[in-house]
Amino acid sequence: MATDNKEKRALWSGTVFLDDMLTLSDVKEMFGMSEMTIRKWRRDHGFPTTVISGKMRHTVRFDRANVLAWANTHKKVLVHTA
């Protein structure tokens, strides 16, 4: 389920495992794009993002299957598979 800003927000409940998710660095490497481009895709093109709420700050991660599906839908070419 997407929110208005097209981000999935999840509270840390023990069901979200950060080790199973991609980091921004992983995604940048996958597409061979800059951090700014990935942020723009999140903001303007519904790039699938999971924001895990924390006490001090939020952690942003990306589910591999959702990223691959988004890339296929938006005809984005992968440079590497993370």
- Residues above pLDDT 90, as percent of the chain: 57
Region 7-73: CATH code: 1.10.1660.60
Half-sphere exposure of 76 (CA within 13 A, CB side): 22
Work out the pLDDT band at 66, boundaries 50, 70, 90: very high
More confident of the two residues 16 and 80: 80
Nearest Cα neighbor of 34 from 44, 42, 24, 43 is: 24
pLDDT digits (tens, 9 = 90+) for 35-47: 999 999 999 999 9
Give pTM, 2 decimals. 0.73
Work out the pLDDT band at 18, boundaries 50, 70, 90: low
